[in-house]
């Protein structure tokens, strides 16, 4: 695969993992509080762990001659993660 293709695929995986983490947290609002972690908590944890190597791969293959194109998947992923961690904080501390 070419570098640009790897970057495009890793950018899409980055977005999917971020949205998966967000949806896993948001699913906690649909159920009453439980004494033990459920499957959604494990999905959230695994998606956050998987984000690390994918982000490194994305950054390593990014073409920084076009910074807006390279930064867009990072910005969307970061926004989804901020929302996910914010929702998780609210879910854990206020609900």
Does this model's pTM top 0.85?
Answer: yes
Tokens of 41: 């908590």
Per-residue b/e over 70-93, b at no fewer than 16 CB within 10 Å? beebbeebeebbebbeebbeeeee
**Confidence class of residue 70 from pLDDT cuts 50, 70 and 90?**
confident
Can you tell me the distance from the alpha carbon of 20 to that of 93, in angstroms, rounded to the nearest whole number? Answer: 22
Question: pLDDT (tens digit, 9 = 90+) per residue, 8-56?
Answer: 999 999 999 999 999 999 998 988 877 778 889 999 999 999 999 999 9
- Give 37's DSSP letter: -
């Amino acid at each position: 695969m070419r570098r640009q293709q790897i970057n495009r695929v890793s950018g899409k995986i980055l977005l999917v993992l971020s949205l998966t983490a967000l949806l896993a947290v948001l699913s906690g609002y649909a159920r009453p509080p439980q004494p033990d972690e459920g499957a959604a908590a494990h999905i959230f944890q695994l998606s956050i762990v998987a984000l690390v190597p994918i982000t490194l791969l994305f950054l390593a293959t990014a073409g920084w001659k076009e910074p807006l194109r390279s930064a867009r998947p990072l910005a969307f992923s970061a926004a989804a993660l901020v929302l996910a961690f914010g929702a998780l904080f609210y879910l854990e501390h206020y609900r």
